[in-house]
Amino acid sequence: MQVGNRIVFNPALKASRDHLLKVCKEMIQNYDIDGIIFDDYFYPGGGTPEDSSAPDYQLYTQSNSGMSIGDWRRANVNQMVKDMWDMVQATKPYVKFSIGPAGVAGQRSTSATKHGVVPVDEYCRASDWQYTTIYSDPLAWLEEGTIDYISPQLYWKTTHVTNPFGPLTNWWSYIAEHFGRHHYASHNIYFMAETNTKADWDEILQQIRYSRQYNRQNAPGVNFYSAKYIDGPTCKGFADYLSQTLFTHKALEPAMPWHSKTNYDAPANLAYSGGTLSWTGVNKKLVRYSVYAVPLTVTLDEAQSQAFDGIKSDYLVGVTYTPSFKLDASLQSGYWYAVCVVDGWNNEFAPAFYNLATEYADKVTLVTCTPYGINSHRLLVRGHRVETSLAQLSVRISADALVIDPYIVAPIVAAPMMLILLILMLVTTSPKHKKRKGAERS
């Protein structure tokens, strides 16, 4: 239909919606994409008449919907969103579907009451123009569960008078949590094209901090518009600044628990050879694998995240779509490793371990004690029971027979005058292991 000098696909027509689905389905079927996100274009941005001069007025009257023309148009958009959601679930349900609407919705005078939420008016003085101008009601998509996440275009700075970033990302985080979905704010970084100063960079960092601070589902995320301003000649240095400040570790995407999932066992046959980890792959297209490298001085208990069910992202070294992973040279010794299956909705399952010691000796025997250098001796012990491929062994030499505390020694040395009194305990780092008072390392 034509509105002013614009010609747009009419959302009221099934043919228009079917054409959109056909295009998106072709992309999903023929390309291994992670997701599809729609921009904020629905009805024309300049507004569409609601009287008999409107190009869709005849369709509206023929619909006998009983709704106002504004509600009818919003219902058309909602139907398009639902059709898209249904198509994705039927085609490749692990492809994420989301929308990046205009940054303000849910005023008391528009849709907040209808959807039973606290209006955005309680957070700031921003205006929900999209509801009546382009007939977009993002709260409807969230309430109907027809998108995976909402990414509103919060293109204002933290100091904006009516639309400050902080209160808006706070409200959207509340909205997403209320409806059981995720909120990843869309950030305007194209404003830096003219200046690209550290003050500009710090503004973006503060916005990200607000989103993380106000996040209610342990799912903080960001979208940047546009990617060309992340780095390169226009905003040179910005990407490095992000990686050195707020994005210092790799991280998995937040899991989307509203999708049903299949549970996976830990990867089988995890092995190490020549700096490469390998394992038996899962014969599922949507599966990836998270790979962790943890220093041998860190126990499994210590490596576990307190906020999430899994290993801390501090130790995440990569994600791979194939059942092997080449470790950096710096990670090829002195570490234990874990590999987990990660499904298309970012659920991470039980890890397989390599080089993680799981037991300690009940008893060890001193075989020999020979001089080794000045005031030190080399000890040969027997009786260890470990699950490790390393030549190094975790050994504790203590004056207290009850004390066990792992310490990597190679070679193992001890003062000769203490050998008569010491009880040797050969151990490995164990998830069951506890430090006890009085430990002394030698």
pLDDT given at position 233: 85
Distance CA 433, CA 143 (A): 48
pTM: predicted TM-score of the whole model, two decimal places:
0.80
What is the pLDDT averaged over residues 309-323?
95
Q: What percentage of the chain has pLDDT greater than the value 90?
A: 72
pLDDT given at position 402: 40
CB 19 within 8 A of CB 25: no
Q: What is the pLDDT of residues 62-96, one digit of tens each?
A: 999 999 999 999 999 999 999 999 999 999 999 99
Q: Which is higher by pLDDT, 432 or 87?
A: 87
Q: What is the pLDDT of residues 239-250, one digit of tens each?
A: 999 999 999 999
pLDDT band, residue 370 (cuts 50/70/90): low
Mean pLDDT of the chain: 85
Whole-number Cα distances in Å, 38 to 64, 96, 168, 274 = 29, 11, 20, 45
pLDDT band, residue 423 (cuts 50/70/90): very low
pLDDT given at position 359: 53
pLDDT band, residue 306 (cuts 50/70/90): confident
pLDDT over threshold 90, residue 146: yes
Distance CA 272, CA 274 (A): 7
Q: What is the pLDDT of residues 7-45, one digit of tens each?
A: 999 999 999 999 999 999 999 999 989 999 999 989 998
Q: Edge to edge, what strands does the sheet with 324-326 contain?
A: 268-273, 276-280, 324-326
Q: Which is higher by pLDDT, 37 or 440?
A: 37
pLDDT given at position 220: 85
Beta bridge partners of 222: 185
pLDDT over threshold 50, residue 410: no
Helix, strand, coil % in the chain, rounded to nearest 5: 30, 20, 50
